[in-house]
Amino acid sequence: MNNTNENCALRLEHVSKTFGRILANRDVDLELRYGEVLALLGENGSGKTTLMNMISGIYHPDEGEIYIGGKRVVINSPKDSYKYGVGMVHQHFKLVDVFTAAENIVLGISEKGGFKIKKSIAKIKEICGRYGFQLDPEKKIYEMSVSEKQTVEIVKVLYRGADILILDEPTAVLTPQETERLFAVIRRMRDDGKSIIIITHKLHEVMAISDRVAVLRKGMHIATVNTADVTESELTDMMVGQKVSLNIERTEPVDPKERLTVSHLSLLNKEGVKVINDISFAANSGEILGIAGIAGSGQRELLETIAGLRVPAEGEIIYNDPKTNEKTDLRKKTPLQIRELGVRLSFVPEDRLGMGLVGNMDIIDNMMLRTYTGGRHVFLDRQPSKNLAEEIIKSLEVVTPGATTPVRRLSGGNVQKVLVGREISSAPSVLMAAYPVRGLDINSSYMIYNLLNEQKKNGAAVIFVGEDLDVLLELCDRIMVICAGTVTGILDGRTAEKKEIGLLMTKLKEAENDG
């Protein structure tokens, strides 16, 4: 790359960052020109946010250099990044609720001489007027809508004199109308000479707002192209990449029968927004059903609803008993009631230590979570759990000082082995696993795939929520793609194309209006 490129507001060269054994970014080169909107596109876990955090001083790169305005800089803290005119608006807002917008905006700025809030308010109004923000500086944060809070965050960055703005998934929380307004403001800022990076995985927004697109995949920079020169389908190709062969074993399903039938399932969240919208599918015995989708599309809620942790607004969840052929509606049943019905439903939740296990308890007591009610008398019987714990430690090669070690002391992979080991120990007839290999190294991941395959061979209906499309394509017999709480397609895992899934994951329907 040309070192004396003077129309570069920001340039990254060979930037790498690892977290433990996980490679977040590898050898990334990136270029942001003056007065342009650059979209940063990539799947979950492709390293977009990590990369931006290194520019805004939250992380420090392991290797590589950052140039701002052609000059080599070292950014050690967010304060440093402001010094160089870089400001980042995070996905989760960092505002003090009981303060006004103006107070939040000036918070943390040390100015010489006396401080007058009136002067600051005048400056805020001037910024708002220039770029067309609608903001009342004296309104308190807790009275604001999400979009207003976001405006405060952006103005905060501009107030500090940022010329390079980084917006991390700004549209995820906005309605289409609010998105339009945001885009208008972004265009005005660009015309004023600001350089803007916008992180997103909504393709139509990339097409609408950006001048150029940089695509990241698995921590690496794939390409930067002019938006006008590409189509959505080409971008999807770059984002998901060519199929990589992983050599995960996949056997033909033996005698698949409908084990779990979900029909017209809908779920409202606390705010009354539909997070699951009319989902219907069947999970068959002896088969792995994969669920693909951008994170937060309703995967977690779907599994929790089936497990009895959430009460659906509409729809049915029918369990077909393999022995008696009886049909049972699991809707509105608690996890305990489901178990009492004799339904062996196992669930490996996404939040391992916060939901699947108790971090401060040892392995034995964690084994007991599912079975402690067994036996007639009031006392616990620890012996079976102790045996199970020792068996799992041995067969799954859990690295631990002993069965009485609190699970929070174990590494991520070992925590997951303990959790999966417990969940499959009951010989489940339905096994649901949400992101079971997230954060795990290759060996542990393959062990988990093997365990899922084993359950499939034993005739369980396995539901696997994954984020790596290569894994989904090699492991699953069928893949259900969901986007914003709706099923956009159910494909055959053996014939599906990666690109096809990518498009189904990102393609928003016309009627779609929540994030």
User: Which residues contact another protein (rule: CB under 8 A)?
Assistant: 74, 76, 307-309, 334-339, 347, 349, 351, 354-361, 365, 368-370, 372-373, 378-380, 409
Nearest Cα neighbor of 338 from 354, 365, 317, 362 is 317
Structure tokens belonging to residue 173: 């929380």
Nearest Cα neighbor of 449 from 432, 436, 431, 467 is 436
Least distance between another protein and beta carbon 344 (Å): 13
Pick the closer one to another protein by CB: 15 or 199: 15
Nearest Cα neighbor of 504 from 240, 262, 214, 266 is 240
Beta bridge partners of 11: 31, 67
Order across the sheet with 314-320: list the strands. 274-284, 258-268, 314-320, 327-329
Least distance between another protein and beta carbon 358 (Å): 5
**Overall residue count recorded for the chain in this entry:** 515
Least distance between another protein and beta carbon 442 (Å): 28
Least distance between another protein and beta carbon 336 (Å): 3
Pick the closer one to another protein by CB: 254 or 336: 336
Nearest Cα neighbor of 34 from 229, 191, 207, 206 is 191
CA distance 181 to 161: 22
At which residue do the structure tokens 């650059």 appear?
38
Beta bridge partners of 33: 8
Least distance between another protein and beta carbon 339 (Å): 6
Pick the closer one to another protein by CB: 348 or 503: 348
Pick the closer one to another protein by CB: 304 or 468: 304
Beta bridge partners of 30: 12
Pick the closer one to another protein by CB: 101 or 345: 345
- For residue 358, what is the enclosing H or E element? none
Pick the closer one to another protein by CB: 128 or 357: 357
Pick the closer one to another protein by CB: 248 or 309: 309
Nearest Cα neighbor of 230 from 252, 211, 202, 244 is 211
Least distance between another protein and beta carbon 356 (Å): 7
User: Torsion over CA of 478, 434, 217 and 213, rounded to 10 degrees?
Assistant: 90
Least distance between another protein and beta carbon 427 (Å): 18
Least distance between another protein and beta carbon 377 (Å): 9
Whole-angstrom Cα Rg for the chain: 25
Pick the closer one to another protein by CB: 72 or 116: 72
Pick the closer one to another protein by CB: 268 or 341: 341
Using the CB atoms, write b or e for 384-408: b if 16+ within 10 Å. ebbebbbebbeebebebeebebbbe
At which residue do the structure tokens 């609010």 appear?
178
Least distance between another protein and beta carbon 216 (Å): 25
List Cα–Cα distances, 342 to 63, 274, 487, in angstroms. Answer: 55, 31, 29
